[in-house]
Structure 1
Amino acid sequence: MAEIDRYYAYQTLFSGRKAVPKMEFLKKLEISPATFKRDLAMLRDRLNTPILYDRDLGGYRLENPDAFQQLPGLWFSQEEALALMTIQTMIGQLEPGLLGPKLKPLQTRLNKILETQGADANVLSQRIRVVHAGKRRMPLKSFELVAKATVDRKQVEIVHLNRQSGESVKRIISPQQLIHYRDNWYVDAWCHLRGGVRSFSIDAIEHCLLLEHDAKDIDREQLLKTMQSGYGIFGGQANAWAELKFTPERARWVQHEEWHPDQKGTLHKDGSYTLQVPYSDERELIGDILRMGPDVKVLGPAPLVKQMKDALQKMQKQYA
């Protein structure tokens, strides 16, 4: 009998009884005394199930009759527990306060499991570090409401700040998916005001109200085509391909990077590297190209080349 099957078998044997004799466990579960001893240790130490031997009743009983009902049917090996603890630690550093309180009971349980196996979970926080770049402060309440609406398939009324225009607009959205992109959270949603799919930065949501109306569902393939066919978070339906040529020095890094799932790359004999990526909105793409400085040259298309020239001329005027 597998461990998980024995767990439920123990639960069945204890159900509605004050105590269960040892021999009944051995017979019903078809296990040896040594296995029974290991099971007791596992149930007590790993699953926090308080099983006690009662001499007066002549068997084992639960200190808390609801112990099994209070515990999820989860069994973790040391490797699995360590992996979950690693994820928990990374989430805590990624967005402090976001999921930590919700996962605190699980974290406590995982700590105890690892301790019984000779591992120290506390060292994880000292050995794992998440470095942020360009992270913006996000209102926790807005994230929680948007996340709940996304999972429960409900509409949300938001007041969203358009940073380009500086205008705050009230609108109703039907969240489709949450995106964590470059250290910031976004929600792809159907905008009932504009009648189309839009991406909203959650940190720019000034007010958020969960509604009772069911969310409008968008076909998954259509959503991906609309929001992820182009470069960057602005996504959109790609209508052009940027062709970038990197110097041999920069190519050592860029040839291993994924700028877009549909990108095309060519490594040349001189060590230089040509990268082609689809895009619909050039704003983020231009910013990433400028970060590369003189290590990249835009070969096409012509409108993107002109926009790069204009941007560089404006930059040069700043230092004239």
Structure 2
Amino acid sequence: MAKTDRLYKIERLIRSRGHLSFQALQDELEVSPATLKRDLEYLRDRLGAPIEYDRDLNGYRFASGWGGPKHELPGLWFDERELYSLLMAHQLLSELDSNGVISRHLQPLLDRIHALLGGDEAEAAGLVRRVRIISPAKRPVPGSVFERVAEALLERRRLHMRYHTRGRREVGEREVSPQRLVHYRATWYLDAWCHTRERLLRFALDAIEAAQVREAKARPVPLRQVQAEMDAGYGIYAGGTPQWAVLHFDAQAAPWASREQWHAGQQGRWLDGGRYELRVPYVDETEIVMDVLRQGPEVEVVAPPALRERVRGRLAEAAARYAAPD
């Protein structure tokens, strides 16, 4: 029986029976006296369980009128492999968390995981160092901005912000009702109802120069509506009527293209000669053009004509930069 399973069983046995002798616990757990003694000490010293020995009852019970810190062992226990998985998940969150806000709030959980691992803590730390997550082109978000956005989202209150619209090179004041946080390609975004434009919009958190949580309640928008309006198109661009890009990958790229997810609603089929057709919905051609260009000569845009012409023009411009001088 794993250590975490034994700890849970000791807790459950004492709670259900009121008290148990050392021998009864040992028989139930089928462990040596030394192991049971270590487990009881671990519960008391490391997890704060108010377990005491009652001489009159000749058994272990929970102290009556416990005046110390509140003790409650979690109802969901993890074995060692699951704890290691949680450590790796924490490492992933740390990589997403360029401002350190999430990691700071999760630190108590991380400390508890290390405590549960006990003597395996050094091994756990070594495992984390052997996991590397590379997130290129990160756009850091100031910690104060992230905290204000998260606060407004969780408390369902309006957010006033000074926002830099990079496309128009303008800075303006916005009052929004946060609906959802989105992390996409190493960047954080906020889906929110904009009270200036009176519709759902997506804002990049790194473009928020200042933010303040208002007392006013946020305007509720059904999550299904948010998903329908914001997730229909390709990439981070939202809103508008979707069109379908039809892409043909050659036989060399087809094995990889057939396994990649460009969009949750994509469609694909195999063509003659080992080629692969991928159909992807999009509402703005900006991002899908960039991703098609990254594929080089291994992909061809078949439809629609406007997207095909846009990609052809960008490739011509790129080729012109490498043309030999006259």
Pick the TM interval, shorter chain. 0.7 to 0.9
- 1:95 maps to which residue? 97
What is the match of residue 84 of structure 1? 86
Amino acid in the other structure paired with 1:7: E
For residues 54 and 117 of structure 1, do their structure 2 counterparts lie closer, same or farther at Cα, with a shift above 3 Å needed? Answer: farther
Which position in structure 1 is the counterpart of 2:20?
26
Distance in structure 1 (CA, Å) of the matches to 2:273 and 2:112: 56
CA distance in 2, matches of 1:12, 1:65: 18
| CA–CA separation in structure 2 for the residues paired with 1:274 and 1:46 | 58
Q: 1:244 matched to which residue of 2? A: 247
Structure 2 counterpart SS, 1:128: coil
Alignment map for 1:1-320 (pairs within 5 Å): 7=11, 25-26=19-20, 32-35=25-28, 37=36, 40-41=40-41, 43-44=43-44, 47-49=47-49, 51=51, 65-67=66-68, 69-70=70-71, 73-74=74-75, 75-96=77-98, 97-116=100-119, 120-320=123-323
Given that 1:92 and 1:98 are in contact with CA atoms closer than 8 Å, whether structure 2 keeps it comes out as: no
What RMSD, in angstroms, separates the aligned Cα atoms of the two structures? 3.2
Deviates more, 1:302-311 or 1:128-137: 302-311
| Deviation (angstroms), 1:137 | 1.7
For residue 190 of structure 2, give the secondary structure of its aligned residue in structure 1: strand
Counterpart secondary structure, 1:209: strand
Distance 2:96 2:53 in 1: 45
The alpha-carbon deviation at position 139 of structure 1 amounts to 1.1
Deviates more, 1:85-94 or 1:138-147: 85-94
Question: 1:230 is matched by which residue type in structure 2?
Answer: G
Q: Distance in 2 between matches of 1:67 and 1:225?
A: 50
Amino acid at match of 1:267: W
* Matched position secondary structure for 1:120: helix
Is the contact between residue 14 and residue 20 of structure 2 (CA under 8 Å) also seen in structure 1? no
Q: How many residues align?
A: 307
Matched letter for residue 77 of structure 1: D
Q: Judge conservation of contact 1:228–1:235 (CA < 8 Å) in 2.
A: yes
**One-letter code aligned to 2:211:** C
Pairwise CA distance, 1:275: 0.7
* TM-score of the pair, normalised by structure 1: 0.84
SS at structure 2 position matched to 1:26: coil
Residues of 2 paired with 1:265 and 1:90: CA distance? 30
**TM superposition shift of 1:305:** 1.5
The answer (yes or no) to whether the contact 1:114–1:120 under 8 Å persists in 2 is no
Could you tell me whether the CA contact under 8 Å between 1:26 and 1:33 is conserved in 2? Answer: no
Q: How far did residue 277 of structure 1 move?
A: 0.7
CA–CA distance in structure 2, aligned partners of residues 313 and 126 of structure 1: 45
Distance change in 2, residues 1:247/1:282 (3 Å): same
**Structure 1's 198 and 66: CA in aligned 2 closer, same or farther, altered over 3 A?**
farther
CA distance in 1, matches of 2:135, 2:114: 27
Contact 1:188-1:198 within 8 A present in 2 as well: yes
Aligned residue for 1:278, secondary structure, equals strand
Q: Which amino acid aligns with 1:314?
A: E
Q: What is the percent sequence identity of the aligned residues?
A: 35
Q: Distance in 1 between matches of 2:67 and 2:119?
A: 23
Q: Is the Cα–Cα contact under 8 Å of residues 94 and 130 in structure 1 kept in the other structure?
A: no
- The CA deviation string for residues 32-69 of structure 1, in whole angstroms up to 9 with x for no partner, is 4545847624523662436465889988686x944561
> Is the CA contact 2:246–2:278 (under 8 Å) kept in the aligned structure 1?
yes
TM-score (norm 2): 0.82
- CA 1:280–1:252 in structure 2 vs 1: closer, same or farther (change >3 Å)? same
1:135-166 deviation digits (Å, cap 9, x = unpaired): 11211111111112111111101111111111
Task: Give unmatched runs, 5+ long, in structure 1.
Answer: 14-23
Contact 2:95 2:135 in 1 (8 A): no
| Whole-angstrom CA distance in 1 between matches of 2:237 and 2:105 | 31
2:279 alignment partner, SS class: strand
